Amino acid sequence: MQNPLIHGTTVVAVRHNGQVAIGADGQATMGNTVAKNNIKKIRKLSGGKIVVGFAGGTADAFTLLERFEEKLSAHGQNMKRAAIELAKDWRTDRYLRRLEAMLIAVNKEELLIISGTGDVLEPDSDVASIGSGSMFAQSAALALKKHASHLTAEEMVQESLHIAADICIYTNHNLNIEVLS
C-alpha cells in the first residue's frame, strides 16, 4: 500500500485597486486525517518581488519552487518567461512529470497559475485559485470584487479563504497572506 499524499489546501490571489494579495490556509492532510494545521504555503522569491503559493504534495511543490527560482535567475527575474519554461520542463521531463502540485505566482503586474500539464494561465478576472477549496474561494473573491469593491485585495483574499474554510474540509482558518502594493 502506498503512503497517502499530503494534500488539501486552498490558495487564492486577487489583484484589485493597485494591490495584489495572495493567501493560503495552513492545513495539510494525509488521507482523511489532519497531519498539520499551520503549514506556510506562501513563499517570497526574487527579494519579495514575486510571491508564490502552492497546493499539492509538499515535497513536490518545494521541488517546483526550486526549479522556478532557477528559471527566474536564468531569465532575468521575468516571471512569465520563467513560468513558461518551468511548465515546459514540468510537462516533458520524466522526473518532473510525476510531481503532483500546482503553483500561483504573482508580482505587481502579473498573476499566473502554473500546472504540470503545461498550462500557464493568466486569469481575465484578476482572481486565481488552486487546491481543494479553490472553487469556493474563487467564487467568493469574484463576488467580493463585484459587490464589495471598497475592500482591499488583502481583505478579499482573507474573506475568500475563510469562506472556503467554512465549506471545504481540507481547508482551515490558519491563514498566511502576503501583499504586493
DSSP state of 35: E
**How much is the CA Rg of the chain, to the nearest whole Å?**
15
β-bridge mates for residue 33, sequence order:
30
Q: What is the pTM of this model?
A: 0.92
User: What domains, with CATH codes, occur in the chain?
Assistant: 6-180 (3.60.20.10)
CA distances from 98 to 28, 90, 113, 141 (A): 20, 9, 18, 31
Q: What is the pLDDT along the chain (181 residues), one digit of tens a residue?
A: 344 444 578 999 999 999 999 999 999 888 788 888 999 999 999 999 999 999 988 888 888 999 999 999 999 999 999 999 999 988 887 777 778 889 999 999 999 999 878 899 999 999 999 999 999 999 999 999 999 999 999 999 999 999 999 999 999 999 999 999 7
Q: Which residues are catalytic?
A: 9
